[in-house]
Amino acid sequence: KANPRLRKVMASLTTHLHDFCRENEITVDEYMAGLDLIIAAGKWSTEQRNEMLLMTDILGLESLIDEITYTLAGEAADAPTATAILGPFWRKDAPKLKMGDSIVKKDMEGSDHASMHGRILDSETGKPINNAEIDIWHTGPNGLYEQQDPDQPDMNLRGRFFTGPDGEYNLYCLKPTSYPIPNDGPAGKLLGLLDRHPMRPAHIHFIVSAEGYKPLTTQIFDRKDEHIGNDSVFAVKESLVVDFVPKDGGSKAKFDLRYDFKLIGY
**H helix runs in the chain, sequence order:** 4-24, 28-44, 51-57, 61-72, 186-193
Rank residues 127 and 197 by Cβ distance to ligand DHB and give the closer one: 197
Q: In the chain, what is the straight-line distance between the N-terminal and C-terminal CA atoms, in Å?
A: 33
- DSSP E strands: which ranges in 147-214? 158-162, 168-174, 179-180, 199-200, 203-209
55 versus 116: smaller Cβ distance to ligand DHB: 55
Nearer to ligand DHB, 130 or 147 (CB): 147
When CB distances to ligand DHB are compared, the closest residue is 87
Q: Does 85 bind ligand DHB (CB under 6 A)?
A: yes
Using the contact rule CB under 5 A, the part of the chain among 3-11, 80-88, 108-116, 151-159 near Fe ion is: 80-88
Residue of minimal Cβ distance to Fe ion: 87
| C-beta of 60 vs 118, nearer to ligand DHB | 60
Closest CA to 260 of 162, 132, 118: 118
Report DSSP state, residue 82: P
For residue 109, the minimal CB distance to Fe ion (Å) is 20
Site string for ligand DHB, 226-265 (x = CB under 6 A): -------x--------------------------------
Cα distance between residue 135 and residue 94, in whole Å: 8
Look at residue 181 and give the partner it binds from ligand DHB, Fe ion, none, a contact being a CB closer than 5 to 8 Å depending on partner kind.
ligand DHB
Q: Which is nearer to Fe ion, 87 or 201 (CB)?
A: 87
Considering only residues 11 to 30 of the shown chain, the ones binding ligand DHB according to CB under 6 A are none
Distances (CA, A) of 213 to 130, 133, 191, 264: 11, 11, 38, 6
Tell me: does residue 198 bind Fe ion (CB under 5 A): no
Q: Rounded to an integer, what distance in angstroms lies between the CA atom of residue 261 and that of residue 132?
A: 10
Residue 220 interacts, among Fe ion, ligand DHB, none and using kind-specific CB cut-offs from 5 to 8 Å, with: none
Cα dihedral value 80, 65, 184, 151, nearest 10: 30
Q: If you count them, how many residues does the chain have?
A: 266
Distance of alpha carbon 109 from alpha carbon 102, whole angstroms? 17
- Pick the binder of Fe ion from 45, 55, 87, 163 (CB under 5 A): 87
- Counting contacts by CB under 6 A, is residue 89 touching ligand DHB? yes
Q: Is 87 in the site for ligand DHB (CB under 6 A)?
A: yes
β-pairing verdict for 216-222 and 241-242: parallel
Type of residue at 35:
L
Give contact residues for ligand DHB (rule: CB under 6 A): 54, 57, 62, 85, 87-89, 181, 200, 233
Give contact residues for Fe ion (rule: CB under 5 A): 87
